[in-house]
Structure 1
């Protein structure tokens, strides 16, 4: 027995991660419209006209937060298609995107969002986001944690120039572990193309200048930076 075909509506949702004051944070908006008016949610919205989903994600990011997607690299997290995930229409399928950037500024709300702000990931996970955004956030954070093992995305949390100590802090914040500093230093400097010294130095509280680095040209880590089994997160 054949089943009737269904009309599917497409949306794009965004998980934008940054580190603020040593805490992993996610960009959330307070919904201004029903359903879930007043609840926190990830930025996102419906595909329009002849847009691609990538273009929808970029537009929604700009409309709901005032941020420019051209400055961020959007990476697909997954597709979410549960029949009841969005009460507005019978079948709403969303493609979720992950973007990472260093110490992003305070966002400005727009469109159908009452407000936009950075929220610690742990707090967002406790608060209960609208729709199925808890699941999307969980998957995106786990993707970021996993990608740190095999790809050079950790430098995306840093500025144009950074110290190994700052890069070390990125791994500790995202993985939720304490990492041995000498061992970490050896691994990142021996990974071909991961980081490149700039020739500059930065003063530190202990008085000993720290060498500055920039992101290298590699996109994968060789050898990988394996995540400890016990993350404490």
Structure 2
């Protein structure tokens, strides 16, 4: 039998097929705290709970294309640092049917975060509370800006927890922190991002020396505006570093 004949006679209904979804972990650092964008569910299941923006993958759509589409549709964004995070496939993770979700995370500077909130009223800002230290891992909690705990739908607490774990793991050897900053930034702002992700304070002289020694930073020759004291020097991420 040729491959053409095999495919002609192949019955795709011979095996059950699960649905596939994509969920977006849209993260930033706001006022020194890791934050994510959530939506409140208006339908069952988990009616009234908070969830990551997401949707189902079309039959003719790649996972990456679905993530980009949802990023544009749900958060009105076309350009962001997007990375596939993990595939969540527990059998009973969704009570409707067998649904496998591929989580992506997009890292956004705080101005883009604010623009997404303004462009899409359904999105809400949630501060992330990480109850574990270092790279232990585990679910995290989400709170409103008023400090109210937001009950999360499905396994989205685990998705948020894995996103934080991934960030902590990559922070020391990659330039992932720069995706959370505007194009030009101060060393203080860079340290704030590191401290927010790591959940701990860092020694200021040692941190600055390490960042400068790695060759990741390029001075812009400019200084921040609006500072009450001597304005700090502005840097940018060195391309390719």
Alignment TM-score, normalising by the size of structure 1: 0.83
What is the Cα deviation at residue 84 of structure 1? 0.5
SS in 1 for 2:101: strand
The 1:33–1:64 alpha-carbon spacing in structure 2 relative to 1, beyond 3 Å, is farther
Q: 1:101-158 CA distances to partner (integer Å, 9 max, x unpaired)?
A: 1111225448xxxx21111012517533101111111001110111111110111111
The 1:199–1:173 alpha-carbon spacing in structure 2 relative to 1, beyond 3 Å, is same
The equivalent residue for 1:217 is: 239
Alignment TM-score, normalising by the size of structure 2: 0.80
Aligned length: 208
Aligned alpha-carbon RMSD (Å):
1.9
Which of 5, 11, 14 aligns to 2:24? It is: 14
The equivalent residue for 1:141 is: 164
Aligned pairs for 1:170-209 within 5 A: 170-192=193-215, 194-203=216-225, 205=227, 207-209=229-231
- Unpaired runs of 5+ residues, structure 1, are 220-233
> Aligned equivalents of 2:170 and 2:92: distance in 1?
30
The equivalent residue for 1:45 is: 55
When Rg is computed on C-alpha atoms for both structures, the one with the higher figure is 2
- Unpaired runs of 5+ residues, structure 2, are 1-13, 130-140, 144-148
SS in 2 for 1:121: strand
Could you list the structure 1 runs, at least 4 aligned residues long, displaced by more than 6 angstroms after superposition: none
- Aligned partners of 2:81 and 2:179 also within 8 Å: no
Aligned pairs for 1:26-105 within 5 A: 26-65=36-75, 67-68=76-77, 70-89=78-97, 91-103=98-110, 104-105=113-114
The equivalent residue for 1:227 is: none
> Aligned equivalents of 1:156 and 1:7: distance in 2?
37
What is the Cα deviation at residue 204 of structure 1? 7.0
Matched, 1:127 2:135: no
